[in-house]
Homo-oligomer: A and B are copies of this chain.
């Protein structure tokens, strides 16, 4: 992930071929815990409990060709995955994704690759100046890195969309629910010559009520945040315009000649199983979304409790809405906590680091460093150490400059 550095979080080294599940070692309660990265390992336990139902076996001779669907608009997209993607959106009701309605699917190596692909597809090649790319602050810290990586003449990073007031072509990225702060968003620029890319990575019913079926020109989703399978690097775009879909496909073709078919097969299987279970195929256990929403609800309750005990931080308030998927009213439970230190502390990241909690500073998101983003998607034991540690942090006035104990 952007800004990855050394971490003390244990990584799971998967078994090479025998399909057995090995648990990660538990972190020492005194060790540094890394909540900087949004690594969705909290869902491992659920998938482990599913046993062989989601196991995928690939023989040595399968999926060898570059080609998946040579006559389709995205020639490297496996038909199995396309089918599972359209099915899960139909079932959840979070996005219009029907082929009959002219919605094209483009698969990418994670949705990150598709942010690149969308910028490539939307920026004309014959313009004198690069197109401005903006996003309302606080914005996902990786967008700027992506836009600036290769110093392209096609586009340039222009930061906070609230401050954009030029009569020039622009692209606004709208992340909703937002990373880092979980807010529900709409475009803010609303000027002529603009195009909007919707990053809907978190618009799933474990994070937020599904209030409407999104139906925008370009919508990005990722397997990482839907089911927690970040290691597979599968993202997809739902695109209305055939030419834009073709250009995005071209980008992925030139930059990496398509997308891993092994991971496409795996995503097809797991998304399909989620759908099957939501439709009653598995009567023994909760479906994935119900399970994951319950976990997120529990974590947010523990987090609020810790913040209350500490008296040193605050969290955003989230509205309660009716979810068309679950048929219930509930609050957004974002994947990240957007935590603010009370007024005496200006640098929340340093404060937490002193307590062996690694977080990402608000400054990385175009916001005040009194904020940090903390991942709530880690393993249970790490999350529990985090809330326990957070609840004991007390900010006191020591010398009037906001130093903390």
User: Of residues A21, A47, A70, which shows the largest number of chain B Cβ atoms within 10 Å of its Cβ?
Assistant: A70
- Mask, A121-162, CB within 8 Å of B = 1, is 000010000000000000000100110011111100000000
Chain B residue nearest to A18 (CB atoms) is B57
Which of B6, B39, B48, B260 meets A231, CB within 8 Å?
B260
Q: Does chain B have a CB within 8 A of A69?
A: yes
Q: Which residues of B contact A53 (CB under 8 A)?
A: 60
Q: How far is the CB of A168 from chain B (nearest CB, A)?
A: 18
Which of B50, B68, B260 meets A262, CB within 8 Å?
B260
Among the stretches A8-16, A204-212, A392-400, the one at the interface with B is A8-16
**Copies of the protein in its oligomer:** 2
In the complex with contacts A60-B53, A62-B14, A64-B40, A233-B258 CB distance below 8 A: yes
Q: Which residues of B contact A2 (CB under 8 A)?
A: 253-254, 257
Q: Does chain B have a CB within 8 A of A41?
A: yes
Docked complex Cα distance between A63 and B41 (Å) = 10
Which of B15, B142, B154, B270 meets A60, CB within 8 Å?
B270
Q: Are A256 and B18 in contact, CB atoms less than 8 angstroms apart? A: no
Can you sample 19 A-B contacts with CB below 8 Å?
Answer: A6-B71, A12-B65, A13-B78, A14-B261, A14-B265, A15-B59, A44-B64, A47-B61, A50-B61, A55-B59, A64-B231, A108-B256, A113-B255, A116-B255, A146-B254, A150-B150, A152-B153, A230-B257, A262-B262
